[in-house]
Structures are given as structure tokens and as C-alpha cells.
Structure 1
Amino acid sequence: MTVALMWEARAVPGRGAELLAWTEERVRELPVSPLRRETFRAPQDRVLVITWWAAPYDADLPELPEPDAELVSRAVHRWRFESLGGR
């Protein structure tokens, strides 16, 4: 089974590049590397990271932490999905 973890945060206005750099550093610090990872950015200084893992849905997987409160404008959003395969 493949599980995708999604992590999305919104930076304090004007600090999107700093949040992106912070996120990239945290990804490199994960104790185990995912099968795949993609990082996205969007308007309003938002950063999204999706990691794919060969694991059961309820597996204990390493996740990105919460950034310091002064870097983000709200709590991080997290979702977990089970892959149904690609086309």
C-alpha cells in the first residue's frame, strides 16, 4: 500500500520564501526518506509538501513539524491519504 502525507502551511505575509526554506531543511532532517516527495508553493505565502510512503494507512510515519509561531499565520493543516493507483 502507498500512503501520501500532505502538509500545508501559510506563512506570515512576506515570509513565504523563509517558510519554504524552513520546510526544505525539515524534509532533509526526516529520519527516513519517503518513496517520493513534492513541494509546492501558492499565493498568500502558502507551502504544500506531499510525501509518499510504502506503508499501511495507519503506520507511524515521520511528519514535518509545526514551524515556529512567528513564521506562520495559522496552524499547519495535515491530511493522510491511501493511494488508489495512477493511470
Structure 2
Amino acid sequence: MRITLMWEARAVPGRGAELLTWARSQVLAREPVRRETFRAPQDRVLVMTWWDTADADGMAAELPELPEPDAELITRPVHRWRFESVG
């Protein structure tokens, strides 16, 4: 089963480049099948990782996730979502 994790944060205004650098420098406990990093208006950064898991309930699988950045770098807690591939 393939699971995609989404991690999205919004930087303090003007610190989007710093948040992007921080997110790109984070090393996970193991390598995903794929990892992509995006930026968006309003100093937002999005990281998506794709994982293959043999767990019967892939949505509950233990997978490495990016941590929260320092609170002074972001405007709110990180948003996280999990998606299961259906296609």
C-alpha cells in the first residue's frame, strides 16, 4: 500500500526562504519512495513524502514525519495529512 504524507507550514512574514531551507534540510529516519518540497504565496512550505507499507492498515502505519519548526519561525502549528493511494 502506498501512503502519502503532507506537511504544510506557514512562515512568519518574510521568513519563507528560511522555512524552505529548514524543511529541505530535515533528514528523516529512513528514506521515502519519493519526496517533494513546494513553496506557495504567503510564505507557505509544503513537503510531500510517499511511502510503501506492508501494514494491513497503511493509514495507521508508523512513518517518519518532519518535526515542527521552531515556534518563532511559523505563524501556526504545522498542518499534517495522510492519504492512501487509490489508483
What TM-score does the superposition give when structure 1 sets the normalisation length?
A: 0.93
Q: Which residue of 1 aligns with 2:84?
A: 82
Look up the equivalent residue of 1:30 and give its one-letter code. Answer: L
1:31 shift after superposition: 1.2
SS of equivalent residue, structure 1 residue 32 = coil
1:84 shift after superposition: 1.0
Give the whole-Å Cα distance in 2 for the aligned partners of 1:40 and 1:84: 23
Identity %: 71
SS of equivalent residue, structure 1 residue 57 = helix
Deviations 1:13-72 (Å, cap 9, x if unpaired)?
Answer: 00000000000111xx21100000111100000000000000122110000000000000
Size of the alignment, in residue pairs? Answer: 83
Root-mean-square deviation (Å): 0.6
What TM-score does the superposition give when structure 2 sets the normalisation length?
A: 0.93
Q: Superposition pairs for residues 1-87 of structure 1, below 5 Å?
A: 1-26=1-26, 29-55=27-53, 56-85=58-87
Kindly report structure 1 stretches of 4+ aligned residues shifted beyond 2 Å.
none
